[in-house]
Amino acid sequence: MAGVLDARQQPADEILERFLDGRLAGGDVRAPILHSWQRCQAAGLTPDTARPRLSNDLDFDCELVRAARPVFEQLRTAVAGTPVGMFLGDAAGVVFLRNVGEKSQGRILDAVGAAPGFSYAEPDIGTTAFGSALVERRTCRVSGNEHFSADLHGLTAVATPIRNPLSGRLAGVISITCPTDRASEAMTALALQSAAGVEQRLLDLSSDHERALMEEFLQAKSSGAVPDTAPRDLSRHDRLALEDAAVRLVAQGREALVDVTLSDGRVATLLAQPMSDSTGIAVEVWFTGA
């Protein structure tokens, strides 16, 4: 992958040790990494004890995996012959699928538990791009010594969340990883491309009922049958819930529908649609119920 990342972007080897000793100066490490380290420390993790956890009774034929398999097969050639690993995880941080470009890299990843069936969630393994993308709900990069686990200091990864296009809810994560000296900006593009492909497949696999619900709502909206009964005194909690739902819908960049139940029993239906005269997304809200 072209465009190797500057190794000087990584923190020095002793920075994590200084953090653990309370001697870290401001600006020594990126804010998202520092926040993750703080969460790890609060959870009682140490760089030497943070380990992936093996999960049991997993459904490897769940909707997320069925959506992702064709995408992973299609992109297998993108990592072939390179020291790159490509991972699919669910919303809980458990790895379900993996593509590896070289067998030697596969052995390295096996040694650190970066394999199907293991949890790479932040409370288990500490700071990783995989876990940070799930916590922060955005694309994240973690390079070399920014990892909390000492076992991962030779790797760099980029991860991005997967959202269900209909509900807007977090569905999983895509992570791309390789040795730090081979990391490149192309990893971000591959992660985003993969996540977009899985999201489209999730939409394709959505049930007839979900599609019918979307069509019914759009018809009701066009005919004026959806009442505009917005409460005048929405609570702060309800406003924040609606704002969060709207932000997630806009981030998807496509038509989608989601219901939010308010504290007074009403149901707020948010509809996101591309704007015809721009590249933006418009979100409309209707209130029904109690």
Domain extent listing, the chain: 7-205, 225-289
Which of 21-25, 30-34, 144-148 comes out lowest in average pLDDT? Answer: 21-25
Give the 3-state secondary structure percentages of the chain, helix then strand then coil, rounded to 5.
40, 25, 35
Give the mean pLDDT of the chain.
85
Q: How far apart, in whole angstroms, are the C-alpha atoms of residue 272 and residue 106?
A: 41
Residue keyed to tokens 């977090």: 170
Residue 144 has pLDDT above 90, yes or no: yes
Q: What is the CATH number of domain 7-205?
A: 3.30.450.40
Kindly give, in sequence order, each residue whose CB lies less than 8 Å from that of residue 195, ignoring residues fewer than 6 positions away. Answer: 160, 161, 162, 174
Residue 60 one-letter amino acid = F
Q: What is the pLDDT of residue 204?
A: 85
Nearest to 198 by CA among 98, 65, 95: 65
Instruction: For residues 29-44, give the mean pLDDT.
Output: 93
pTM of the model: 0.70
Nearest to 62 by CA among 168, 202, 157: 202
Residues 171-182, mean pLDDT to the nearest whole number: 95
